[in-house]
Structure 1
Amino acid sequence: MKSILNKLNLSAITPGLIIMVLLTACDFEYDLPEEGSFEDKTPPSANFTYSQGEGDNWMVYSFANQSTSATDFEWDFGDGNSSTELDAQNTYPGEGTYTVTLTASDKLGVTNVSSQVVEVVEPEVPLARIPVILEADFEDNSLPDGTGDGRDSWRNDFGGVIQITSSPVQSGAQAAKFPSAGDRVAYQDGLEVTPNTEYVLTYYYTLKTNNPGSITLTVLGGTITDLAEVAGATLASFEGTDQDSASTYVKVDLPFNSGANETISILITNQGEEARLDNITIDLGV
């Protein structure tokens, strides 16, 4: 009888144990996954843009990270330098072709790589502006619209209007004339230049020989409204005093730097003796 009961108990318990074991084995809800055991539904995507530095910093490149779904980054700039910053910057040794590689990864260990070829080239220096001087040779009808009396562009409120002479001239048919009284002033502003650029202004002058005298040409930064401002605005100035011959023009090359100015002015005055001036030009300096 006892043997029969034991068999019945064992028969009742065994199926229950089997069911419990099966249920436990099939319950994966609370299992901790190993790395990579789940599919990464938002894998990282590596991408970036870059820009070159300006002026003397042309070898410095800035890299803007455009990656998505990534937490860690490795930059290889192709010149032996690297970085793990989000956004990066690199100074290249010189001109050349470099392959820049960005590796983006997430916390699941999934990575993505983006590479771009960067051409490092020193930019060409832009050409500087050459100022356009109106009626620079004091000739009639020489304005852009075909009008002008050779001195319209030089009129101002600082002194009387300059005169025009036909003899002697350096070239062409006319030159500017400044009587010995020294009360005539030539002034022209708004001449566009490139800041911080070397220029050379060239002109020709002659003086009569009866009395000591001079003629002065001054390059000014910007515009003035009063002659009292001349000293503070002067970029370069030359006082011509050569009186060897009243009929022979003397050439003057006046170098100047435009400084921070985007425009310059030209001021011409004389004193003591009648003077003439002709053919003003401006070109780039060395």
Structure 2
Amino acid sequence: MKINNNILLLLLPLCFAACKKDDVTPAADIFYTVSIEDKTVTFTNETSGAVSYQWDFGDGETSTEESPVHTYPDKGKYVPTLYATTKDGRISEGSTVIYIAKTSPVKMNDNSLSDWDNVNDYTVTPGAGETFFKTAKFDYDAQYVYLYIEAATTQSSGAIYDIYLDTDNDATTGYTTDITGAGFDVLLEGSILDGWLDAFNHKGAQNAFSFDFTGTTEFFTVGAMEESGGLLTFEMRLSRAKLKGLAATQALKLGIFATKSDWSATLGRIPAPAQPAILINFE
């Protein structure tokens, strides 16, 4: 972000040949960038023409460092301001808006599932009657919802997954199933590990299985996958901006079904019939 605050002062004095023009030092040209990781923000200051700096971080804290690193007390919206002073005392200022939101340790490009080891806020362990799904974990940040699945299957089986999403956290809208407390606005269906997953939006009566194909692309990413001893483990993420209502909602409810590659039989499901939908609260 570049913030220009150049001030042009034009003086038109009445003077004669003996009048001497005053030298005016220009204001500082404010330029800085911000890098956010969790609640910590690194301010990289490239302002020119200044000899001293004063930062107001927008949370009551200040600094006179040239390029400070500041940790905010909580998630939310903040407006930090930089005041830059030139050698003759002229002060320029530049502000920006930053949002401190929850971050996730989960990465899709590290070829590892170990980043899930400390993700435990949303963990589902199916009951004794469920034989396909062994464990499911969920996490989120401002951009994505992350899923971690352990299932008694193989990649070559080509299992098809149906992921039902209540993206407005409103049980009075969307398709109703035997999963309680949710009305599902979005259905994602496909063989995830074969790179196929389609998005559908519900329409019509809540008791009608009626979904329109959206044609949305690039809304999911598959990360690492491991297969050992009859257990298949994989991770994926969903783009909140690409799926109906998911960017704005304060909570997400979901359920996941797995079927054979030819849809001939259901392999497993979470949650169990008549159980509440999995609930993820977005802080």
Superposition TM-score, scaled by structure 2 size: 0.35
Structure with bigger gyration radius: 1
Superposition TM-score, scaled by structure 1 size: 0.35
Bigger proportion of residues as helix? 1
